[in-house]
Structure 1
Amino acid sequence: MAAVTTWTGREANALRQALRMSVTGFADHLGAARRTVARWSSQRDKVHLRADMQAALDTVLARATLDVRERFEAMVRAGTSGALVDPPTLPVTDTRIHTGDGSIHDIDSDGDVRRRDLLTGVTISGTALPSVAALLDALVAPPRNTEPVARPLWQFARDVAAAKIDYQACRYEHVLAGLVTLLPALEPTRADTEGEQRAQLDSLASDLYHVVGSVLLKVGDKGMALVAAERSTRAASVSQDPVSMAASARIMTHALMSNGHSTQARQLAGDAAETLRRDTRLASTDAVAVYGALLLRGAIAAARDDNRDNAQAMLDEASHAAGRLGYDGNDRWTGFGTTNVLLHRVNIALTLGDAGTAIALARHVPLDKIRLAERKASLFVDVARAYTQWGRYEHGLNALRSAYEVAPEEVRCRPAVQRIASDLAVLTRGHVRTAVLDFAQRAGIRA
């Protein structure tokens, strides 16, 4: 592999993740201050490292195993993949994706990204997932050795709904297997539909790509999640359904955030929510739910941008929408309602560095009203992060155990959970550290 010419925070953070080290462990390994390594993670390309630290990182990379070097290269590529979008207009006909390193990747006329340029190595606990690789193949390079078979519209709708249900239940291996067969059926099914049915299919295609992007974000493939989000946006735009277009903006907002574009994500969420309000007057429960869910996405993006006032304003408006809806539901697959707003308040407090506030808010969440396993497990993961930041390590471990009981695949698949377990393994001592390592082994994650 080629040497790194100039180390920025982005490359340094990619090397830390490739080594599967916590911030504290990496700082100790390099002999650097923990706050310095944390700054590399948060400021990324904005930080250019000192000459002595550049030399230290050169040495660490040169001595790394082949597996670590391959993970490092994949993470550097994934960290720069992504198209910057000028909200609120999203690209639906652009034939290129511009990456942060200045390179341009072509998209074929049918929308397929050239596979060899953008496929990234997705792993869970160090083991490649064939199902993820198959999904990426289906997303960017439809199979040529077999003829995909069209499905009746009712069956396609049923299969997309099943994928959504599996995702929200954290059955990720199952949803991956379903998506691998569902994606190639999209174009043949489109060819068999026309008129009003074609518009319905385009709306379903938007939902299909939405769940593809969501599951790719779960397993840490941020660049390809953005590709799926762009497909969702394109299909929704063709359908001309305002609720579909707003729903697709949710996954685009999430993908932009994950690729480091929080400001664009916040603007997109706000603009899309306002467009939906204007076009529908929020006359249906679907419209209200998607409107509120968009505001919650925007609030998270604002928090990641350290914009407290904007985050609070969007939270308050989402809370008003939840009151208007009047129940905790799952309209248009949003899981939106008053309880969902509270879950986002927990996450946003944590994002803003207020771990104590996040824990206090979490204590008021009515767990019996959280119907979706994905949302309940995510709450416990947030609590685990908060307790770890707060120095209450045993409480953090207990929260991870709770998340695992609710949704084992959520804990096993998410890189964020692996980072928490890794931090706990480094920060704890004695019986707590032993318990952390035992849990990680049982859960199938690397600590």
Structure 2
Amino acid sequence: MAAVTTWTGREANALRQALRLSVTGFAEHLGAARRTVAKWSSQGEKVQLRADMQAALDTVLARAAPDVLERFEALQKRSTSGALADAARPPAATNADTAKDEPGSDSDGDVQRRKFLQGATASGMAALPGVTPLLDALVSLPMAHGADPVALPVRQFARDVAAAKAAYQACRYEQVLGSLTTLLPALTPTRAEAEGDQRIRADALTSDLYHVVGSVLLKVGDRGMALVAAEKSAQAGAASQDPVAMATSARIMTHALMSNGHTKQARSLAENAASVLERDTRLTSADEVAVYGALLLRGAIAAARSDDRDSAQTMIDEATRAATRLGYDGNDRWTGFGATNVLLHQVNIALTLGDAGTAIALARQVPLDKIRLAERKASLFVDVARAYTQWGRYEHGLNALRIAYEVAPEELRCRPAVQRIAGDLAALSRGHVRTAVVEFAHHVGIPV
């Protein structure tokens, strides 16, 4: 395939789509600002890229796998207007868009998101079967197939939400997508028919369900729509007036804000939500302690992403006290919280701060037999792979990815972050190690 003579926004966007990356993911891959990549997508041929970006894209294209090159060439042949530009526009996911809406309701913001989804579907953004129907359900688009949604008894609704949570923590993401696509349309009739305490319970469950939606969307790299789901989780949590439900929804909101680059807001939200939960409940139950500790861990990661080591350590220390108070490694209110979970977050924080050696040292202290959730164990080995890659120990990084794959195959196939690690290993390693990396990536289904 001939090289690109001059990169405009059109060619850059085609390469992004061929790589199956979001605007944010592509920006991170290139080391460019997100607004710059968004400008390429929106202006197409009207914008010609700077020389340094031309060179960076030349390198990415030269390293692309055959299937990526094939998609890139096909996209190049398509019309230069319409779908390519529309597909790349981010959803208008702001608090102002959704604050006035009931959970699951429609709004002008949702209409804008519908337009986004129409383009996103065409662009191939949804890497997993079931992502597009989930996005349709999230913004209340009509389902392509199936009967009109009916209300569920709250008891059954609770069982179904718990099953979705459990499947997510087991890294069975295709199963999660299928169940969420069925459950989301049932939210409105279920809440409408529930009364009194049942309505409060339905609202809390709705908050939990949107928490799962946001979590799985973050896994597949759709950060903008994950923020939409997090906002809906927060609305439902507030409607329930359950302090634990509200604090739990703050966890996914913190995560979504961080993933969209709003680290300061994320840290502030986590700190404030933990403080409110402690004030309102006095942390008298295991659920309250676990959610409190999990919020502090999320806030510590946000502080680390802002390079605020002192604040990160302060929150880790308080989370450690909460874990001691809890007294065991559990999964209360789906947090997976406990002393082992604190240590897992310390590994991630050290890595975030650029301390790869410290991250490896901490990872060696983790008692693997106490990690009962596949998602947490796989994430640990992904972090270890990233640390070894940063450290220049590429064969060790590959071995960590192999272990993560044994624990949770879908975790590796779904996560753009894992794909970037594999790509870095393939680009940086040499000889038999590089050959092994490429063979592993092809076996797993990761383009390198």
With normalisation by structure 1, the TM-score equals: 0.82
Residue among 78, 83, 89 paired with 2:94: 83
Cα distance 1:82–1:159, how it changes in 2: closer, same or farther (>3 A)?
same
Q: Distance in 2 between matches of 1:121 and 1:445?
A: 21
Q: Aligned letter for 2:156?
A: Q
Q: What's the CA shift for 1:129?
A: 3.0
Q: Which deviates the most, 171-180 or 60-69?
A: 60-69
Q: Distance in 2 between matches of 1:4 and 1:122?
A: 20
Q: Distance in 1 between matches of 2:119 and 2:266?
A: 23
Equivalent pairs counted in the alignment come to 411
Partner of 2:130: helix, strand, or coil? Answer: helix
1:189 aligned partner? 190
The answer as to 2:93 corresponding to 1:92 is no
User: 1:128-207 maps to which residues of 2 (within 5 A)?
Assistant: 128-143=127-142, 146-207=147-208
Q: What's the CA shift for 1:61?
A: 11
Q: Distance in 2 between matches of 1:91 and 1:347?
A: 32
2:248 aligned partner? 247
Q: Distance in 2 between matches of 1:382 and 1:134?
A: 30
Q: Which deviates the most, 240-249 or 189-198?
A: 189-198
Q: What's the CA shift for 1:73?
A: 5.4
CA contact (8 A) 2:200 2:239 kept: yes
Cα distance 1:44–1:182, how it changes in 2: closer, same or farther (>3 A)?
closer
2:288 aligned partner? 287
User: 1:9-408 maps to which residues of 2 (within 5 A)?
Assistant: 18=17, 20=19, 41=31, 44-45=34-35, 51-53=50-52, 65-67=73-75, 76-78=88-90, 82-83=93-94, 92-93=99-100, 108=107, 114-118=113-117, 121=120, 128-143=127-142, 146-408=147-409
CA contact (8 A) 1:113 1:140 kept: no
Q: Which deviates the most, 239-248 or 180-189?
A: 180-189
Q: Distance in 2 between matches of 1:297 and 1:259?
A: 15
Partner of 2:31: helix, strand, or coil? Answer: helix
The answer as to 2:395 corresponding to 1:432 is no
Which sections of structure 1, spanning at least 5 residues, go unmatched? 6-10, 23-36, 96-105
CA contact (8 A) 2:128 2:174 kept: no
Q: Distance in 2 between matches of 1:419 and 1:243?
A: 35
Q: Distance in 2 between matches of 1:422 and 1:124?
A: 22
Q: What's the CA shift for 1:420?
A: 0.7
Cα distance 1:151–1:379, how it changes in 2: closer, same or farther (>3 A)?
same
Q: What's the CA shift for 1:431?
A: 1.1
Q: What's the CA shift for 1:42?
A: 7.2
Percent identity over the alignment is: 64
Cα distance 1:124–1:52, how it changes in 2: closer, same or farther (>3 A)?
closer
Q: Distance in 2 between matches of 1:440 and 1:74?
A: 31
CA contact (8 A) 2:101 2:107 kept: no
Partner of 2:164: helix, strand, or coil? Answer: helix
1:8 aligned partner? none
Cα distance 1:16–1:274, how it changes in 2: closer, same or farther (>3 A)?
farther
Q: What's the CA shift for 1:189?
A: 1.1
CA contact (8 A) 1:125 1:412 kept: no
Q: Aligned letter for 2:171?
A: C
Residues 251-271 of structure 1: CA deviation (Å, up to 9, x unaligned): 000000111111100000000
Q: Which deviates the most, 218-227 or 127-136?
A: 127-136
Q: Aligned letter for 1:283?
A: T
Q: Aligned letter for 2:31?
A: S
1:412 aligned partner? 413
Q: Aligned letter for 2:297?
A: L
Q: Distance in 2 between matches of 1:157 and 1:168?
A: 17
Q: What's the CA shift for 1:75?
A: 8.3
Q: Distance in 2 between matches of 1:75 and 1:304?
A: 29
Residues 31-79 of structure 1: CA deviation (Å, up to 9, x unaligned): xxxxxx989637655999995336667999999535489998588534x
Q: What's the CA shift for 1:390?
A: 0.3
Cα distance 1:369–1:76, how it changes in 2: closer, same or farther (>3 A)?
same
CA contact (8 A) 1:125 1:444 kept: no
Which sections of structure 2, spanning at least 5 residues, go unmatched? 1-6, 22-26, 40-47, 62-68
Q: Which deviates the most, 64-73 or 385-394?
A: 64-73
Cα distance 1:126–1:117, how it changes in 2: closer, same or farther (>3 A)?
closer
Question: Runs of at least 4 residues of structure 1 off by over 2 A?
Answer: 2-5, 14-22, 37-78, 80-85, 109-114, 117-130, 141-146
Cα distance 1:121–1:291, how it changes in 2: closer, same or farther (>3 A)?
same
